[in-house]
Amino acid sequence: MSQPLDEPLDEPLDDQVAAPTNAAVATVQPPPDRSTHRCGYVAIIGRPNVGKSTLLNRLLGQKLAITSHKPQTTRHSILGVSTLTCGQILYVDTPGLHQRGGNALNRYLNRAARAILADVDLVLFVVEALQFSDEDALALAEIAKAGTPTLVAVNKTDRITDKSRLLPFLQALSQRHAFVSIVPVSALKGHQVEPLEAEILAALPAGEPLFPPDQLTDRSERFLAAELLREQLMQRYGQELPYRTTVEIESFTLEQTQAGPSKGTDRAEDPRARIHALIWVERESQKAIIIGHRGEALKAAASQARLEMQKLFGRRVHLEVWVKVKDSWSSDEAALASLGYGEY
Ligand SMILES: Nc1nc2c(ncn2[C@@H]2O[C@H](COP(=O)(O)OP(=O)(O)OP(=O)(O)O)[C@@H](O)[C@H]2O)c(=O)[nH]1
């Protein structure tokens, strides 16, 4: 059984729609010598909810990774490409390392984070100012095991009114591991992000760019569409329900909205994306909650997701969303693999 939306969610294109460009360009002064051009992979690691995805979006200068106030929003690693005048930084956002290793999804998330740690040039370890929990210690233990050079971003400094409290925290942190450096930041407010970026760049090996300068990610629009819909589920529904859901893009096609070039230009209009998405839940009762009274809840979520997709893709989007029940998808390894959680 599936539930379509009453009406298509196809509204006029927002004037603010921007193509995915890399707005972080030229935040660091280029060194005169071209041979110092740097390029490398940086894994963003930390416990759930510490602000990894928010920091990645800030470093990229635009939203790529989804965020919410709930822990474990990130389930897939995602590559964000930041092309600067004197280097290219390839950020890998990872699912938060966590202790609750219980079900198949959690085991998958930990495996994913560990595999990435061993395979990058630099680790950006994100912790929260004045907080160092058992989960942070667990993440640091994994980092130490991998032996990769590590820089720390001490995030959420905007929450600390008495900044003098930070110094002893930073000193204690420096005793825990031989970090390359420790930089206090606020990903939310954008404080100290440029000095952090300069430190990251300086710690990368010399090398030519691996991606074209206008490429923001290696992930497809299809993948990003699923993530943007899942973000709405994380942000809008109760504490537990989002963890019992996942999103699958059943079809993603591009259709030309006009036969020839747009009026007054010699360029054909960008093709519109036509997306059919499935939201998988584990029980009929969850399906009813996702859909809401007369479909209002689902319609609001899908409508916002569609606007976010248009912003990221820089093209019009027609989105149809259906909700289906798949029993215990999150605890079954085979079901996980069928939903795209099979890389690690
Ligand atoms: N006050 C404050 N809040 C922040 C900051 N950075 C992130 N947050 C908030 O912290 C919450 C979690 O942020 P995310 O970026 O989703 O965290 P994450 O580490 O990617 O989370 P996981 O997906 O669980 O791994 C969100 O509500 C953010 O708005 C910050 O610098 N200051």
pLDDT digits (tens, 9 = 90+) for 124-175: 999 999 999 988 998 898 889 889 999 999 999 999 999 899 999 999 999 9
Domains of the chain: 34-202 (3.40.50.300), 221-338 (3.30.300.20)
Residue 62: helix, strand or coil by DSSP?
A: coil
109-119 confidence digits (pLDDT tens)? 677 777 888 88
In ligand 1, the atom with minimum distance to the C-alpha of 57 is: 15
Distance between first and last Cα of the chain: 32
> What is residue 336's predicted lDDT score, i.e. its pLDDT?
57
Q: What is the ipTM of this complex?
A: 0.98
**What CA–CA distance (Å, rounded) separates 317 from 301?**
15
In ligand 1, the atom with minimum distance to the C-alpha of 185 is: 31
32 is in an annotated binding site: no
CA 55 – ligand 1 centroid, Å: 8
169-200 confidence digits (pLDDT tens)? 999 999 999 999 999 999 999 999 999 999 99
93 is in an annotated binding site: yes
Sequence-separated (6 or more) residues with CB below 8 Å from residue 341: 75, 76, 105, 108
CB count in 10 Å sphere of residue 18: 13
36-81 confidence digits (pLDDT tens)? 899 999 999 888 889 998 999 999 998 888 777 766 666 667 789 9
Ligand 1 in contact with 184 (CB < 6 A)? Answer: no
> What is residue 15's predicted lDDT score, i.e. its pLDDT?
32
CA 157 – ligand 1 centroid, Å: 12
| Full strand arrangement of the beta sheet holding 150-155 | 78-84, 87-93, 38-45, 122-128, 150-155, 182-184
pTM: 0.73
CA 126 – ligand 1 centroid, Å: 10
54 is in an annotated binding site: no
Q: pLDDT: is 86 or 25 the higher one?
A: 86
CA 49 – ligand 1 centroid, Å: 5
Q: Which residue has a Cα nearest atom 27 of ligand 1?
A: 69
What band does 335 get if pLDDT is binned at 50, 70 and 90?
low
